[in-house]
Amino acid sequence: MRIPRALMDAILAHARSGYPYEVCGVLLGRNGAGDRRVDRVVPVVNREQDSPQVRYEIAPEDLVRVQRDGRDEGREILGYYHSHPDHPARPSETDRRIAAEGLSDGVVHVVVGVEGGKRAAPSAWVFRDRAAAFEPEPLDIE
Amino acid sequence: MAVKVQIPAPLRSLTGGQSEVEVDASDVSGLIDRLDSRHRGLKERLCDADGNLRSYVRIFVNDEDVRFLKEKATPLKTGDTVAIVPAIAGGRG
């Protein structure tokens, strides 16, 4: 997955500013033949009510709005991002289980580990139904 | 009753890669059946064995969640836009 430096910086800043809570957002772009390039990032509110320090939820109402606006601009949803405060930048078992239950095949997830609200590090993954697991996705920050 | 249906990327393997399809249906239940007749397997991804929408699937008609309308009995009319939207959640714990 390719993403401009400024957009990745915006994701990392969002993750730091939201600490100690998880933050989340949507990755938009144009999905060419085998080439994913994010050219817009939309932060959305973490709608998780009970445990926003360790869980996130993107409300479908927010997602349908982002999807509609994206389509109006010729973009589509390539994936999502969320943060893991004081936790590694890789999908958790919760992430895997929920993705396996849902509509996630081929969708990119960027996971940002945030240490102490300061250091933030991203990683990218693609969920595959056939393996019921996330596979590492090369992250090309341009 | 031709309505446009927006297909999320994870379901496009069932629609030949199409991100939007047009179908004739008078309500959401009929729409799902028509979609499945043209794109076999779609209904199973959207509904459980009892025919209810799966918990991770939301269907919007003109930006209104059918859960707050008449669910699968929500009527459709020509020109409506239907969006199939996945529920997205997770986290470290």
The reply to whether B36 falls in a domain is yes
Alpha carbon distance A76, B48 (integer Å) = 27
Alpha carbon distance B38, A4 (integer Å) = 39
Q: Are strands A56-58 and B88-90 parallel, antiparallel or unpaired?
A: antiparallel
Note down the domain range covering B48: 2-86
Whether residue A90 lies within 8 A of chain B, CB to CB, comes out as no
CB < 8 Å to B45, chain A: 103
Q: What sections of chain A are H helices per DSSP?
A: 5-18, 60-72, 93-101
The reply to whether B91 falls in a domain is no
Over range B87-92, report the average pLDDT: 94
- Neighbour-count burial for A88-101, b at 16+ CB within 10 Å, e otherwise: ebebbebbbebbbe
Alpha carbon distance A3, B81 (integer Å) = 31
CATH of the domain at B31: 3.10.20.30
The reply to whether B81 falls in a domain is yes
CB < 8 Å to B63, chain A: 64-65, 68
Domain count for chain A, please give it. Answer: 1
CATH of the domain at A54: 3.40.140.10
Note down the domain range covering A14: 2-141
Catalytic residue numbers of A? 22
Alpha carbon distance B80, B61 (integer Å) = 7
The reply to whether B92 falls in a domain is no
Q: A100: which residues sit within 8 A by CB, 6+ positions away?
A: A127, A129, A132, A133
Q: What is the pLDDT of residues A81-133, one digit of tens each?
A: 999 999 999 999 999 999 998 899 999 999 999 999 999 999 999 999 999 99
User: What is the predicted pLDDT for the residue at A31?
Assistant: 72
Nearest to B63 among A58, A64, A109 (CB): A64
Over range B64-77, report the average pLDDT: 95
CB < 8 Å to A78, chain B: 9
With CA atoms as reference, the chain A residue closest to B20 would be: A71
- Does the predicted TM-score (pTM) go above 0.90? yes
Give B43 to chain A, closest Cα distance, Å: 13
User: What is the predicted pLDDT for the residue at B93?
Assistant: 81
- Cβ contact, residue pair B93, A55, below 8 Å: yes
Domain count for chain B, please give it. Answer: 1
Q: What is the pLDDT of residues A19-60, one digit of tens each?
A: 999 999 999 998 766 689 999 999 999 999 999 999 999 999
